[in-house]
């Protein structure tokens, strides 16, 4: 199993047409945005992609579109487990992998109920492994249907199997992330942090990258963030980290619709439709989103970052 690259791994949003069908041209434009912003990999068919609102055929088509459009520039991972019993997922995992993804991601909260033990989760993962040959795998602490966090011991076991390459952490806890990282140090099993406030601390502890939902509003800022980190420019990095942490408090509201509204405001040719039911955005909420846009423009100017839209 080869290692996945370090860096920015966007959790991709999905473009829909006004009739709520997949907009594949829009998906390609979004993919280009991530690439131009410096993405090092893509997580397609994830929660931000509205994966639970897609059919299996749409999940496959969406993933294939992203893989084909990336043309090998960066690797793609995609979700492949939508059933609670391990073996029920094997055929779809094979179909996703055959599209050219680098690893197929399993959802921890799909494979085990809240009251079920880690031993049950492990057994279902083992069933998947037995039925999918040597397909590389990943695991995602998806917050839906509930957030099932993975223990350091489970991380160590997964790393030891040699099958796991990608882990998306959503614990939002730098201490917990460090304990996980200690268990997988020196392996090909890489942790990518979803949480902006703990991103810098996790990178310094050994995380291999970040996958923040705010990257769907302004991926350029996160691309620049990682450039500063890799260059060891701590003064500028700390300033940008503080700003991104504050801004992250806004991006979770009305998401992913808010991300599409933001991109439309930035000039992207994208329909803002989402298949997820959304509450009404009031004047106050619109003002907050507009303030976020103003902050984004100010930061782009402050750090001399070129926009990709």
The per-residue pLDDT for range 198-215, each reduced to its tens digit, is 999 999 999 999 999 999
Whole-prediction pTM value? 0.97
Question: CA–CA separation, 223 vs 236, rounded Å?
Answer: 14
Q: How confident is the model at residue 85 (pLDDT cuts 50, 70, 90)?
A: confident
Question: CA–CA separation, 158 vs 152, rounded Å?
Answer: 10
Note the pLDDT tens digit of each residue in 40-61.
999 999 999 999 999 999 999 9
Q: How confident is the model at residue 196 (pLDDT cuts 50, 70, 90)?
A: very high
**pLDDT computed for residue 309 by the predictor:** 94
Note the pLDDT tens digit of each residue in 91-101.
999 999 999 99
Give the CA distances from residue 209 to residues 4, 11, 246, in Å, rounded to whole numbers and listed in that order: 10, 12, 20
**pLDDT computed for residue 114 by the predictor:** 97
Note the pLDDT tens digit of each residue in 155-193.
999 999 999 999 999 999 999 999 999 999 999 999 999
**pLDDT computed for residue 31 by the predictor:** 98
84 or 151: which carries more pLDDT confidence? 151
Question: CA–CA separation, 249 vs 69, rounded Å?
Answer: 32
Instruction: Return the bridge partners of 22, or none.
Output: 16
Q: Could you tell me how many residues make up the chain?
A: 309
Q: What is the mean pLDDT of residues 255-271?
A: 97
Q: Which CATH class is domain 7-302?
A: alpha beta
Residue given tokens 């990608």 in the structure block = 166
Q: How confident is the model at residue 248 (pLDDT cuts 50, 70, 90)?
A: very high
**pLDDT computed for residue 131 by the predictor:** 97
Above 90 in pLDDT, residue 1?
no
Note the pLDDT tens digit of each residue in 116-163.
999 999 999 999 999 999 999 999 999 999 999 999 999 999 999 999
> Which contiguous run of DSSP H or E holds residue 137?
strand 137-140
Q: What's the chain's average pLDDT?
A: 97
Above 90 in pLDDT, residue 2?
no
- Confirm if 70 and 42 have CB atoms less than 8 A apart: yes
- Confirm if 15 and 30 have CB atoms less than 8 A apart: yes
């Amino acid at each position: 199993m080869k290692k996945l690259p370090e860096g920015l791994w966007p959790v991709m949003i999905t473009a829909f047409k006004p009739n709520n069908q997949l907009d594949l041209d829009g998906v390609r434009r979004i993919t280009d945005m991530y690439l131009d912003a410096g993405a090092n990999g893509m997580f397609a068919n994830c929660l931000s992609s509205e994966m639970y609102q897609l059919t299996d055929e749409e999940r496959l088509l969406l993933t294939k579109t992203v893989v084909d459009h990336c043309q090998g520039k960066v690797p793609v991972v995609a979700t492949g487990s939508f059933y609670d019993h391990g073996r029920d997922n094997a055929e779809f995992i094979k179909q996703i992998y055959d599209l050219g993804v680098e690893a197929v991601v399993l959802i921890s909260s799909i494979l085990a109920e809240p009251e079920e033990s880690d031993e049950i989760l492990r057994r279902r993962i083992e069933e998947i492994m037995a039925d999918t040959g040597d397909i590389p795998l990943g695991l995602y602490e998806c917050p839906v249907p509930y957030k099932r966090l993975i223990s350091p011991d489970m991380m160590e076991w997964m790393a030891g199997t040699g099958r796991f390459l990608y882990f998306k952490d959503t614990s939002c806890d730098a201490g917990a992330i460090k304990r996980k990282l200690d268990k997988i140090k020196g392996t090909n099993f890489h942790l990518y942090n979803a949480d902006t406030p703990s991103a810098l601390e996790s990178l310094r502890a050994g995380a291999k990258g970040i996958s923040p939902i705010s990257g769907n509003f302004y991926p350029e800022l996160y691309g620049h963030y990682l450039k500063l980190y890799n260059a060891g420019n701590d003064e500028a990095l700390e300033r940008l980290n503080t700003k991104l942490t504050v801004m992250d408090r806004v991006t979770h509201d009305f998401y992913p619709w808010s991300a599409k509204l933001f991109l439309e405001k930035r000039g992207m040719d994208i329909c803002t439709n989402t298949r997820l039911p959304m509450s009404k955005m009031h004047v106050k909420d619109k003002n907050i989103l507009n303030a976020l846009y103003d902050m984004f423009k100010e930061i782009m100017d402050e750090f001399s970052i070129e926009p990709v839209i």
